[in-house]
Amino acid sequence: MLSQWIVEYLQWVFLLILLLNLAQRRQYETAARKRLATLYIAAGLILFYAVAHVIRLLEISDWWLLPTGVALVFALTRGESAVRAFRLYCRGCGSRLSLASIVYQDSNLCSDCRFGEPPETPYEEVDERKD
Ligand SMILES: [Zn+2]
């Protein structure tokens, strides 16, 4: 049963997310929004865990997980939501972000863009008027 698997293993995922949240606490100046996002994700997982547990206690069909799962995915992905706080690519130049930037930087900018040095492009236009 799916609900049995969720009850057995989702607590470990929840624990990993809470450990990530504690690690983000050390970077509070730059990761406040992402720390709140991990709390929302953890709250959603606890709700899903609770529904799976109730399904096991009442011995009803696992199909009752579906509405909860749909509502959870909708709540965590709409608009500027919890899951969308974590981007894989830089907002400025589109390059792949490091794991530290993904987890700890609310700006979602790579180190080059963050410190005001946009990366050089191979086809950069040269201004000839400065000669
Ligand atoms: Zn960048």
Task: Supply 6's token pair.
Answer: 């969720």
Name the residue with tokens 């400065």: 130
Q: What is the pLDDT of residue 66?
A: 92
CB 119 within 8 A of CB 112: yes
3-state secondary structure of 18: helix
Q: State how far Cα 69 lies from the chain centre.
A: 17
Instruction: Tell me, in angstroms, the distance from the centre of ligand 1 to residue 117's CA.
Output: 9
Instruction: Tell me, in angstroms, the distance from the centre of ligand 1 to residue 112's CA.
Output: 6
Q: What is the pLDDT of residue 75?
A: 86
Q: How many CB atoms lie within 10 A of CB 33?
A: 15
Q: Give the whole-number percent of the chain exceeding pLDDT 90.
A: 34
Instruction: Tell me, in angstroms, the distance from the centre of ligand 1 to residue 126's CA.
Output: 21
pLDDT tens-place string over residues 42-81: 998 999 999 999 999 999 988 989 998 999 888 888 877 7
- What mean pLDDT is predicted for residues 6-28? 90
Q: State pTM to two decimals.
A: 0.76
Instruction: Tell me, in angstroms, the distance from the centre of ligand 1 to residue 109's CA.
Output: 5
Instruction: Tell me, in angstroms, the distance from the centre of ligand 1 to residue 35's CA.
Output: 22
Q: Name the pLDDT band for 118 (thresholds 50, 70, 90).
A: low
Instruction: Tell me, in angstroms, the distance from the centre of ligand 1 to residue 107's CA.
Output: 10
* 48 membership: H or E segment, kind and range: helix 28-58
pLDDT tens-place string over residues 79-103: 777 888 889 999 989 999 999 999 9
Is pLDDT above 60 for 122? no
Q: State how far Cα 67 lies from the chain centre.
A: 22
CB 47 within 8 A of CB 72: yes
Instruction: Tell me, in angstroms, the distance from the centre of ligand 1 to residue 100's CA.
Output: 14
Name the residue with tokens 């547990």: 53
Instruction: Tell me, in angstroms, the distance from the centre of ligand 1 to residue 81's CA.
Output: 22
Name the residue with tokens 């624990």: 15
Q: Which of 75, 76, 53, 57 is nearest to 65 (CA)?
A: 53
Q: Name the pLDDT band for 117 (thresholds 50, 70, 90).
A: low
